[in-house]
A and B are shown apart, each in its own frame.
Chain A
Amino acid sequence: MKQDGKDIAHFPHRHLLGIEGLSPTEISILLDRSESYVDQNRRVDKTSPVLHGRTIINLFFEDSTRTRTSFELAGKRLGGDIINMSVATSSVKKGETLIDTAMTLNAMHPDVLVVRHPDSGAVKLLSEKVNCAVINGGDGSHEHPTQALLDALTIRRRRGHLSGLQVAICGDITHSRVARSNIHLLNTMGARVRLIAPCTLIPPGIERMGVEVFHNMADGMKDCDIVMMLRLQRERMGGNFLPSIREYFHFFGLDYEKLSHAKEDALIMHPGPMNRGVEIDTDVADDVGRSVIREQVEMGVAVRMAVLELLALNPEYEGKG
C-alpha cells in the first residue's frame, strides 16, 4: 500500500480485537503509522482523503464520549463516512441480539465496525459474524487495544522508546480492560510492568501475565519511569471491593507525596475520564511538567486514524467484504 508515493507497511490482521498475540513488529507498524498522523492533526487542514468512499460504523453498546468522539474525528479526518450507532437509539433495546445487530449492519456493507460492548469477548463474537474489519473499542474487562496504543505512542514520543522502562499501573485492575491491554503491549515491547492496588482490585493469577504486584504506593512506584492511573470504575462495583472513597484516596490516590517515590521525571498518565480527588489529586493531574494526560487524548486521534487506515485498506482483505 502506498501513500504520498511512500510504501506503508501493512498490518497482517483482519481485525484489531486485542493487543494479546500481536508481535513487536506489528505494534510498531501501528505506532509508526500513528506518528505521521500526529503531524497532520496539528495542521490547519487536518484532512486527507485516505478513506474516501469507505464507511465506518461506530457501534457502541456502552456509554462513551471520548473513545467514540476520537474514532469519529479520526474517520472524518481521513475522509471516510462515519456514523454513530448507540444503544439508546438502536433496536438492541428492543431485544435484538448482538448477532442479529451484527448481521443487519453487515448487510449495509460497512468497511469497518468500531465496537464497544460491556461484555468481555462480545467484540470477538461479533467479528465472527461480519465480513468487514472490526476494531475493539473496549470489551468488558478484557481489552481496549487503541487505548494501549495511544498510551504507548505518548510514552514513545516522550522517552524515545518503550523497552527497559519501568511502568506502574495503579488502581482498579480487576475491572480494567485498559490495564490488560497495556500489560500485553508493554510486556511485548520490553517494558516492565508493576501493578499497584488493594488486594480486592487485583484479579487472581495476574502475576502470570508477567507483572509484579504491589499493595502500597511507596514500594510500587519506586524508581518508576511512568505512572499510569486507572479510573476507579465505581459503576462496575457490585460488591464490597472498597469501604470508602476517602480510604481509597488515602492509600492509593496519586498525590505529590506518593509521586515522590517515582523517578523525578516520571510521567503521569490517565486514560480518562478522571475522578479528581478519588484516584488522582487535582494538582498532580494538572501539573504541566509531569502530566501527559491531555497529550494522550491527542495521540488517541492519531492512533485511531492509523488503525482505521491500516484495517480498511488492508490489501489482503480489501474488496473481499
Chain B
Amino acid sequence: MASKIAYINARLLDAASGLDAPGGVLTDGEEITDFGPDLAKKKGAPKGAKVIDCEGQCLAPGLVDMRIEIGALADTVHAAVSGGVTSAVCLPNTDPVIDDMSVVEFVARRARKQGMAKVYPYGAVTKGLAGVELAELGLLAESGAVAFSDGVLAVADAQVMRQALSYASTFGLMVVQHPEEPSLASEGVMNAGETATRLGLFGIPTQAEVIIVERDIRLAELTGGRLHMAHVSTAASIEAIRRAKARGVSITCDTAPPYFSLNEAAIGDYRTFAKLSPPLRGEDDRQAVVEGLKDGTIDAIGSDHTPRDEESKRLPFAQAAPGGIGLNTLLAVSLELYHNGHMGLLEVLKLITAAPAALMGLPAGRLEKGAPADLVLFDPNEGWKVGADALVGKAQNSPFDGRPVQGRVLRTVVDGRTVFEPDR
C-alpha cells in the first residue's frame, strides 16, 4: 500500500484559515504533508502516490464532535465515521464512570483499537457524578481527559460548582455544565407550555436553563474559571451568555442540531424519539438558537449523540429515556444553516471542526502540514431522507427520522486510511 495518497480535484474547505478553493491534499502515512491549489490536478501529485479523484466535491478536515455518549463503543465509532466525524469527545457517564485515571486510559485505548473515529474522554467533575465531592481533576487531566463534565447531570450545588471552576483552572481546563436546575426539571418530560399541557405531560420551564446559566456566570466571575455551557436551547440563556461575553467573562457554549432544527412540535403525538434533554423548545427559542449561532454567541455545535435501545424508547412518553443519536446526521442537519441562508458554508463547518477542536484543545479540525490526516469528503447538496433504521449503527433513535436533508458524506479518512465510504 502506498503510504502517500493524493486527494486531487477537490474543493478545499478549511474554516480555520478561511480557505475555500480548488485544490488537493497530500497525506503520507498518518499525516497531512501538503495541501493547496498545486494538488488540484493529477500532475501535481508526487510520483508513487496513490491518487484519489475527489471529482470536485468538498474536502475538509474531519468533523469534531464535542459531545457524545459513547454507548456501545464499536458501534458508536462506526456511526461517527459514517457522519464524517473523525474526533469525538465522550461524556463521562459510562459504566464505570470516567472519574478515575484508569477509566480515561481504558476508553481511549479501546477506541484506538477500533481504528475508526478518535475518542477523547471528558473527566467527571464530581466523584461518581454525584455532585458532592470533586473528582481527581488533575490526575484525570494528566491521563488524557480534555475537559470536565458531569454528563447529562447538572452540577447543581453552587459551592461544588464554584470549587470545580476554581480547581479546574489550576490545570487550564474548562468545566462543561449541563445547564438545568434539577428541582425545576425533576418531574418534567418536555418543554413547559401549551403543547405539554395539551398532551397532559409535565413541563420543564425554560427558566430551569437560564437560572443555572446566570448563576454559573457569577461563579465564573468569582473564580476566574473557564466555563462552558453545553447544548443551550433557550433565548434567555443565549442572551445571558451574550451579555456575559460582552463584559469579558470566560464563558463559551455550544448547542446541538435538534435545538436549531426542531421545536417541540416534533413530539407530535408522543414521539419518544423527540424526547431529549434539554427538551425541544418552542419556535421562538429555536430561532434564538439560530441567531446565537449567526452572531457567534454560540461557539460550536456538538451532536449530543445519545444512543438508546428500542426498549427504552418504546414506552409511554413519560417513562421513555431522553436522548437522540446525532453523529450520523451532524453534517447534514448543520448544513441546514447554510442551505437556509443563515450562514456561509465555511462558517457552518467551523462550528463542527475548528471551533470545537479549539475549545477542547484537540489536534484536529484544520488542514495543516503535520496535522493528522483526518478528512471528510462530502457533497453539500445531495439530498436524502433520514431513515432511522438505515443509519449506520444499532441505535435508531434519531429525532430527525423521516426528515429530508441535504449533504452527503462520500468518504471519511482517519490517520490517512479511508474508514468509510457509502454504499452506492
Which parts of B217-276 form the interface with A (CB within 8 Å)? 269-270
Instruction: Report Cα–Cα, A314/B201, bound state, in Å.
Output: 31
Among A98, A203, A209, the one with the most B-chain Cβ atoms within 10 Å of its Cβ is A203
The answer to whether B194 and A120 have CB atoms under 8 Å apart is no
Which parts of A38-93 form the interface with B (CB within 8 Å)? none
CB closest chain-B residue, reference A142: B200
The answer to whether B193 and A204 have CB atoms under 8 Å apart is yes
B319 at the interface (CB under 8 A from A): yes
A5 at the interface (CB under 8 A from B): no
Least distance between A142 CB and chain B CB atoms (Å): 3
The answer to whether B311 and A120 have CB atoms under 8 Å apart is no
The answer to whether A120 and B314 have CB atoms under 8 Å apart is no
* Residues in A neighbouring B269, C-beta threshold 8 A: 121, 124
The answer to whether A98 and B193 have CB atoms under 8 Å apart is no
Least distance between A95 CB and chain B CB atoms (Å): 11
Interface residues on B, range: 20 to 34
CB closest chain-A residue, reference B267: A121
Least distance between B224 CB and chain A CB atoms (Å): 37
Known: A124-B269, A204-B203. A98 touches B198 (CB 8 A): no
Which parts of A178-212 form the interface with B (CB within 8 Å)? 180, 203-206, 208-209
Which parts of A301-321 form the interface with B (CB within 8 Å)? none
Known: A125-B270, A177-B200. A119 touches B194 (CB 8 A): no
Least distance between B283 CB and chain A CB atoms (Å): 13
CB closest chain-B residue, reference A120: B200
The answer to whether A205 and B199 have CB atoms under 8 Å apart is no
Least distance between A168 CB and chain B CB atoms (Å): 19
Which parts of B305-353 form the interface with A (CB within 8 Å)? 311, 314-319
* Residues in A neighbouring B318, C-beta threshold 8 A: 119-121, 140
Which parts of A117-153 form the interface with B (CB within 8 Å)? 117, 119-122, 124-125, 139-143
Which single member of B187, B199, B205 contacts A142 (CB below 8 Å)?
B199
* Residues in B neighbouring A119, C-beta threshold 8 A: 316-319
The total number of A-B Cβ pairs within 8 Å is 74
The answer to whether B317 and A204 have CB atoms under 8 Å apart is no
Least distance between B397 CB and chain A CB atoms (Å): 15
Instruction: Report Cα–Cα, A143/B315, bound state, in Å.
Output: 18
The answer to whether B194 and A121 have CB atoms under 8 Å apart is no
Known: A97-B311, A97-B315, A119-B319. A209 touches B198 (CB 8 A): yes
The answer to whether A206 and B317 have CB atoms under 8 Å apart is no
Which single member of B199, B200, B203, B316 contacts A125 (CB below 8 Å)?
B316
Which parts of B139-155 form the interface with A (CB within 8 Å)? none
Interface residues of chain B: helix, strand, loop or mixed (majority) = loop
Which single member of B187, B197, B199, B319 contacts A204 (CB below 8 Å)?
B197
The answer to whether B192 and A204 have CB atoms under 8 Å apart is yes
* Residues in A neighbouring B359, C-beta threshold 8 A: none
B196 at the interface (CB under 8 A from A): yes
Among B193, B197, B317, the one with the most A-chain Cβ atoms within 10 Å of its Cβ is B197
Instruction: Report Cα–Cα, A20/B270, bound state, in Å.
Output: 15
Known: A120-B201, A142-B200. A239 touches B194 (CB 8 A): no
The answer to whether B200 and A209 have CB atoms under 8 Å apart is no
CB closest chain-B residue, reference A179: B200
A99 at the interface (CB under 8 A from B): yes
Instruction: Report Cα–Cα, A97/B319, bound state, in Å.
Output: 11
Which single member of B198, B205, B317 contacts A180 (CB below 8 Å)?
B198
The answer to whether A141 and B200 have CB atoms under 8 Å apart is yes
Least distance between A15 CB and chain B CB atoms (Å): 12
Instruction: Report Cα–Cα, A180/B196, bound state, in Å.
Output: 12
Least distance between B121 CB and chain A CB atoms (Å): 33
* Residues in A neighbouring B311, C-beta threshold 8 A: 97
Which parts of B166-198 form the interface with A (CB within 8 Å)? 187, 192-198
Least distance between B109 CB and chain A CB atoms (Å): 36
Instruction: Report Cα–Cα, A208/B316, bound state, in Å.
Output: 25
* Residues in A neighbouring B316, C-beta threshold 8 A: 98, 117, 119-122, 125, 140
Instruction: Report Cα–Cα, A143/B197, bound state, in Å.
Output: 11
CB closest chain-A residue, reference B269: A124
* Residues in B neighbouring A205, C-beta threshold 8 A: 192-198
Which single member of B194, B199, B200, B314 contacts A99 (CB below 8 Å)?
B314
Which single member of B192, B198, B200, B205 contacts A140 (CB below 8 Å)?
B200
Instruction: Report Cα–Cα, A120/B270, bound state, in Å.
Output: 9
Instruction: Report Cα–Cα, A119/B205, bound state, in Å.
Output: 20
Instruction: Report Cα–Cα, A97/B314, bound state, in Å.
Output: 9
Least distance between B296 CB and chain A CB atoms (Å): 32
CB closest chain-B residue, reference A123: B316
Least distance between A215 CB and chain B CB atoms (Å): 17
A238 at the interface (CB under 8 A from B): yes
CB closest chain-B residue, reference A122: B316
* Residues in A neighbouring B193, C-beta threshold 8 A: 204-205
* Residues in B neighbouring A140, C-beta threshold 8 A: 200-201, 316, 318
Among B194, B196, B316, the one with the most A-chain Cβ atoms within 10 Å of its Cβ is B316
* Residues in A neighbouring B317, C-beta threshold 8 A: 119-121
Known: A97-B315, A98-B316, A204-B203. A124 touches B270 (CB 8 A): yes
* Residues in A neighbouring B200, C-beta threshold 8 A: 120-121, 139-143, 177, 180
Instruction: Report Cα–Cα, A177/B199, bound state, in Å.
Output: 10
Instruction: Report Cα–Cα, A1/B319, bound state, in Å.
Output: 41
Instruction: Report Cα–Cα, A120/B317, bound state, in Å.
Output: 7
Given contact pairs A119-B318, A120-B316, A239-B187, a sample of 11 additional A-B residue pairs in the complex whose CB atoms are under 8 Å apart:
A120-B199, A120-B200, A120-B318, A125-B314, A140-B200, A140-B201, A140-B316, A141-B200, A204-B203, A205-B194, A206-B194
19 contacts between A and B (CB under 8 A): A98-B315, A99-B314, A119-B319, A120-B316, A121-B199, A121-B318, A125-B314, A125-B316, A141-B200, A141-B201, A142-B199, A204-B193, A204-B194, A204-B205, A205-B195, A205-B196, A206-B197, A209-B197, A209-B198
Point out residues on B near A: beta carbons under 8 Å. 187, 192-203, 205, 269-270, 311, 314-319
